[in-house]
Amino acid sequence: MAENSKSAKWIRELLLFFQDGMKYNLHALEVAWEQRPVATLETDPSYKGGKEGKPKTTIWQGNVMRRMDMYNTIFDPRVAPCDIYRKGEFADI
């Protein structure tokens, strides 16, 4: 969880999420599993005489949180905001 929070930058999203809760008394957060290509360095003594790391692309995967902006979010109006995740048909940015 700690590695996911640093890689996916949860801190900013969570701060904005809680700020929306204080400001509008309503807030939303999307939590999803995501895969991203990430550049890393690989140690290879044969690459440029061992003086530089060899670039390598790896796939990072983990939990990502995105705050949903309340002005641009469309909720299912037939369901109470606290039940959208269970009974609602849509909540979209």
One DSSP character per residue, 8-72 reads: TTHHHHHHHHHHHHHHHS--EEEEEEEEEEEEEEE--TTGGGGTSPEEEEEEEEEEEEEEEPTTS
The pLDDT value recorded for residue 64 is 92
Average pLDDT over residues 7-29: 89
The pLDDT value recorded for residue 17 is 93
pTM flag (> 0.85): no
User: What are 38-66's pLDDT values in tens digits?
Assistant: 888 777 777 676 677 778 899 989 899 99
